[in-house]
Amino acid sequence: MRKVADIPMGFFTFRERWERISGIRCRYESEGLETASAGSDLSLPENALPDFNEFDLSIPVNEYLGKYTLIEKPWQIFQLNQKAILFDYRLATSQRISAELPSHVKSIGSFPVFIEEGAMLEHCFINSKDGPVFISQDALIMDGAMLRGPLFIGRKTVVKAGTSIYGATSIGHNCVVGGEIKNVVMMANSNKAHHGYLGDSVVGEWCNLGAGTTSSNMKNTAGQVKLWSMYKKDFEFAGNKCGLIMGDFSRAAINTSFNTGTVTGICSNIFDGQELTPKFIPSFSWGKDGKIKYDFEKVVIEINSWMAFKGQSLTKEMIETLTNIYQKQ
């Protein structure tokens, strides 16, 4: 659904991050492997993350222009999200002053907490012992929410009452989250609004996880988790912790139980979750096993119904992209 350069982790997409570092608009061109070009003095792979190991706000960001780690696998998005958050915090807060933390918010820890103007924090708890916490403009943190850094909360995102969020987590703009979340990258406009566990996972844009939905992120044997590679058409080892990798516009019904290291494509309507899901759920699945293909007209109608909740709708470009992917399934 998007170029690699436009995948978010930390606070920003790869494109946004390098533009902030360099001060130059990034242009990405595809010829075989993706390459990046940002003006005449900078050339980088579009999946390059600054190789940042110290939380030192005094080091000029342009020192990292030639130092990077390549994000080559989907699970690296959450595995290296702590590094991204630590680096992006300095980009987002440079020469800025945080709004005052309300007196009714309990905060401990030595890393900084940055609150943008307009963020609304009710009686909640913030622990920055392990990393910084950034709460964006117009976000709402409800009563009893417990937040641990490193953590990014996007604009207009709602963290519901009693939610527990552990680092290293990035919740995108205009999301609704609840329950227990750990080491997750959730892209914009997605919801996990109810109780249930989500850990070591990547959730695409415009996804919805129904009440009670839970993902397993570790095998009972504590062994290596295998993840389906759509590129290789085979399984790859992803480490000993990996939860859910979910494509854009996919939705899970209440009480869905995702198997350890589950991959879903885009636009899947996942239900009938009496047992653990298969490890791979193809794009445009109707149900959980991929045996029935979602009717495309219904896909468009139902995505627009979901997007209407947030005052948006599919663009012509989105529909063209979805059509191209659907026809290749």
- Using CA atoms, how far apart are residues 179 and 99, in angstroms rounded to an integer? 27
| C-alpha torsion 116→122→128→132, nearest 10 | -20
Q: DSSP for 26-84?
A: -EEEEESEEEEE-STT-EE-TTEEE------TTS-GGGGTT-EEE--STTHHHHTHHHH
- Whether 254 has a pLDDT exceeding 90, the answer reads yes
Contact 1, 11 (CB under 8 A): no
Q: 188 φ, ψ to 5°?
A: -60, 150
The answer to whether residue 312 scores a pLDDT higher than 80 is yes
Taking alpha carbons only, the member of 25, 83, 20, 93 closest to residue 49 is 83
pLDDT in tens, 205-242: 999 999 999 999 999 999 999 999 988 999 999 999 99
> Is the pLDDT confidence value at 249 over 50?
yes
| Mean predicted confidence (pLDDT) in 54-66 | 76
Strand 8-9 to 12-13 pairing: antiparallel
CA dihedral 127, 128, 130, 134 (to 10 degrees): 120
- In percent, the amount of the chain with pLDDT more than 70 equals 94
pTM greater than 0.85: yes
Bridge-based pairing state of the strands 257-258 and 269-270: unpaired
pLDDT at position 197 is 97
